[in-house]
Structure 1
Amino acid sequence: MASPKETTQRRAQRVRRQLKKVAGERPRLSVHRTSKHIYVQVIDDAKGHTLAAASTLEKDLKGSLKTGADTAAAAAVGKLIAERASKAGVKEVVFDRGPYIYHGRVKALAEAAREGGLSF
């Protein structure tokens, strides 16, 4: 029987495998969620470079947020990543939710990034 860690890794790989089929030249917007914080990166897989990144650990966000583990924090990170991605010249991405369900904090981050100007 597979361990929970193996199951999670398998689920994330399944999502990424499907993304690679539809991504084309678009970079990947990758989300990582923990019990206390949320992290997001815009990654160019062809070159292997991170184009933009944001998280709830940053000083400008940390002071204004009640906690890093709620939908308001995720929405703030989503707006910040959209702003940083547009500065890097990225307008279209593919959304990589990883092993997480598109619900709650992950959904709030995605909707805020869309409002900020990213299209996916």
Structure 2
Amino acid sequence: MADKAASAKRAQRVRRHLKKVSGDRIRLSVHRTSQNIYAQLIDDVKGHTLAAASTLDKDIRGDLKTGADKAAAAAVGKVIAERAAKAGVSEVVFDRGAFIFHGRVKALADAAREGGLKF
């Protein structure tokens, strides 16, 4: 139970810092589990999710061996960048939550940058 509380505390600490430096930019929030990875574009001012992508999406899932590797994270990063462009978003602030910027989280971020998102 303490591990869950520590994780939530870390995530809140990251989001508090992001609110200070982000201005009114859209937030690219990343969540990973042992089997999948998820990304959302969130407008905190309006409280709306503009776009989302995950390894559970049908168009992503068919091409992947598993949803829990760097290739899957990169595929999600490319798709979220495409959906961001359709939504008219080019600059975001990256919210890694309680996860360190390493491995799958970094692969998703790098693919989103290659897809045209700036952060």
Percent identity reads 75
Partner of 2:12: 13
Deviation at 1:25, TM superposition (A): 1.2
Alpha-carbon distance in structure 2 between the residues aligned to 1:89 and 1:18: 25
Alpha-carbon distance in structure 2 between the residues aligned to 1:105 and 1:76: 11
Question: 1:44-98 CA distances to partner (integer Å, 9 max, x unpaired)?
Answer: 0000000010000011111110000000000000000000001000000000000
> What does 1:3-42 align with in structure 2 at a 5 Å threshold?
3-42=2-41
Residue 100 of structure 1 aligns to a residue whose secondary structure is coil
Partner of 2:51: 52
Question: 1:17-41 CA distances to partner (integer Å, 9 max, x unpaired)?
Answer: 0000011010100000000000000
Tell me the TM-score normalized by structure 1.
Answer: 0.98
**Letter in structure 1 aligned against 2:107:** A
Partner of 1:102: 101
Alpha-carbon distance in structure 2 between the residues aligned to 1:44 and 1:61: 24
Alpha-carbon distance in structure 1 between the residues aligned to 2:77 and 2:67: 13
Partner of 2:67: 68
Residue 40 of structure 2 aligns to a residue whose secondary structure is strand
Q: Could you say what the CA RMSD is over the residues aligned between the two structures, in angstroms?
A: 0.8
Residue 50 of structure 1 aligns to a residue whose secondary structure is strand
Alpha-carbon distance in structure 2 between the residues aligned to 1:13 and 1:66: 33
Alpha-carbon distance in structure 1 between the residues aligned to 2:97 and 2:30: 7
Q: Which runs of 5+ in 1 are unaligned?
A: none
Tell me the TM-score normalized by structure 2.
Answer: 0.99
Query: How many residues were matched structurally?
Result: 119
**Stretches (4+) displaced over 3 A:** none
